Structure 1
């Protein structure tokens, strides 16, 4: 009767007992058998030789409890702790009495470094193809930040190194601190949240993400995609100061500046007040020397100008030009008089030649010009032959003293 009841479907009229449902769940889970899973240990407690802990998914919010019995724990060849990434051979078990699901671990090993490196390389190539590592994305750091945002572990050596060295270099520097876990399951989310919170603060001029040294796995949160995306999206310049010189998480590639250590970050983000004061003194000395040279040079030039004759005795040039002007005036007068004399002499010669050629001069020597009278009684054509003036013809004679009107007589022989 009980077997028949266990196979009958549950209905409102004939519901299953809780125990029956739990047994069916346990049977279904048991059929899953052993499976290989990967995750991060978030809890590891040793009690009575047995290990009780929790295993968390690497990419989403999913956690399962696990148990490592003493017989299996004694065979483990490595040390395990919270924060380790592992691969485990497990068999799910549903505890009917408590109604809880747990997994029994049969084999447990750390995720190989080679596999982690391969994952990081895939993420590196993806982000590089998106341009998150491009040099042109890098923003210059401010010369003297007004407020420095610091994402680091509470009371950590990294915090002390950054604050102490920055304050030694510039005593007036100010910090806005955001504490976050720097390893383990909470690290990536808290570091990303710290970057976003400081980036929203308008007074923060630069963000520094700092952590002391650690092994490869402890630094993995600073290669987490959530942290890298938050750093790439920040509009405030960001400095990555993770680990030691040899450590190189992917955050170094996304950040605007990579500092090899937290101490190096302090030296890179603020200037040294002593060096700046020394630089100001040197600049002031150079400016003073240069200004002195310039003034000395200009004083020498003024002295040279004042020593020139034109400035030493300015009336001299006036006197010299006055004498020269008098000479030119005398020369001009002489040339003008000579030109007038030459033109007067030429005019007299021309007048003499003109007088010699004039018909009036011929008349003054006793000659006359005979012209036939025209109809009005005036002078007409010049008479050249007696034949043209028969007897009784009116003739006009032009003499040196005037004109005469005569009449022609009969022509005489010879």
Structure 2
């Protein structure tokens, strides 16, 4: 029956088998091939690296389920979530065995606002990788800028807010204003040119880029790469005062200071003269108090020093030291006399001992010293034995008070 039915169209009497109908459906769907579709993501779930989701038609009540296999999901460069508007390259498949339709996503990307956000996110990651958002690149604003450069729209509320509030805070502040389109196709080029012109002005100490908020698309010029790179390259500190909290443009990231509104920018760029004067008064009062405390302390110290005995009666110290000096002088003289006497006594004793040991004392008792006289007439060796001086030998006798020459006779 199945073979007969497959030969012709299906009827009540010759129905198709389920498998044949499923195969025909699969063949029809397969002939559709790959197709681009557009819709809104209503479900995006990641399980095991694969993505399972649903895509709804933008105008009609129609939804399909889709699958993004892990190999495709790993190549995606953007993040997707419920509510994103996307275009996707899909390949429909009919599963014969289960009788279900599956849609395999081969590529997917944002469109409309989502596409803009995707491009901005890529640019943000690129600039961040280059280090343009690093905190150590942020420069400190001058305490009191002599001249403020302002980039804003002509006759805009932002201009009035910045100028009025800055002047109220510091009446002497001066401005150099460069007008530029703050939305539309001309905005990025004009804002870039204004930043570069003010940066070249040597009198400008800080540059404020101001706009009074706006929707996402109106703020796109302040995320333009030309504007961001001009602000990054400027040698003058940049203040971003776009005035939009929800969608922060890239200029906020690269600026040296981000102000929430133009009014906030004016408050943060110049100090308040009233506050500074009050601060000066407080500092002067603290200085006066501190100086009074130091003077009082030093006065007390001088009084204490003057009350000490050495200053109250200064001659007393001199008298005490004079008496002590007299005692030491007397003691020194006494010790000197004693030392001289001791040395004199020792000298007398040494002289007596030396005299007792001297040959002269022996000579004074009548003794003589006999010495042989050599051929030159000089006295030589002392005679101790008569045999040492044969008869006729010249002899010199040393006495206590002189000497005599003699000739040895025959010994007895």
* TM-score above 0.5, yes or no: yes
**Number of the residue aligned with 2:334:** 334
Query: Are residues 354 and 285 of structure 1, via their aligned partners in 2, closer, same or farther at CA, if it must alter by over 3 Å?
Result: same
1:370-389 → structure 2 map (5 Å cutoff): 371=370
- C-alpha change, 1:326 and 1:111, in structure 2 (3 Å) is same
Q: C-alpha separation between the residues in 2 aligned to 1:389 and 1:226?
A: 136
| Contact 1:371/1:379 (<8 A) preserved | no
TM-score after normalising by structure 1: 0.60
Q: Secondary structure at the match of 1:219?
A: helix
Q: How many Å separate the matches in 2 of 1:241 and 1:232?
A: 16
Matches of 2:388 and 2:142 in 1, distance apart?
Answer: 129
Going from structure 1 to structure 2, the CA distance change for 1:246 and 1:368 (only over 3 Å counts) comes to same
1:123-145 deviation digits (Å, cap 9, x = unpaired): 22333344433334332212111
Give the whole-Å Cα distance in 1 for the aligned partners of 2:334 and 2:127: 101
Q: CA deviation at 1:393?
A: 11
Q: CA separation in 2, counterparts of 1:225 and 1:131?
A: 14
Distance of 1:155 and 1:301 partners within structure 2? 68
Alignment correspondent of 1:209: 209
Superposed counterparts of 1:199-348, under 5 Å: 199-348=199-348
Shift of 1:196: 3.0
Aligned length: 301
Alpha-carbon distance, 1:249 to partner = 0.8
How far apart are 1:368 and its partner, in Å?
4.7
Task: Give per-residue Cα distances to partners, 1:286-330, cap 9 Å, x unaligned.
Answer: 322333333333333333443444443333333333322222222
Q: Distance in 2 between matches of 1:230 and 1:370?
A: 125
Separation (CA, whole Å) in 2 of partners of 1:393 and 1:229: 132
Q: Secondary structure at the match of 2:218?
A: coil
Alignment partner of 1:152 is 2:152? yes
Corresponding residue of 1:122: 122
How does the TM-score come out when normalised to structure 2?
0.60
SS in 1 for 2:150: strand
- 2:174 aligned partner: 174
Instruction: Please give the secondary structure, in 1, of the residue aligned with 2:349.
Output: helix
8 Å contact from structure 1 (residues 369, 382) kept in 2: no
Whether the aligned pair in 2 keeps the contact of 1:368 and 1:397 (CA below 8 Å) is: no
- Find the aligned partners of 2:263 and 2:360 in 1 and give their Cα distance: 130
What SS is found at the alignment partner of 1:287?
helix
2:372 and 2:383 in contact (8 A); partners too: no
Cα shift at 1:338: 1.8
> Which ranges in structure 1 are unaligned for 5 or more consecutive residues?
1-74, 76-109
Unaligned runs of 5+ in 2: 1-58, 60-109
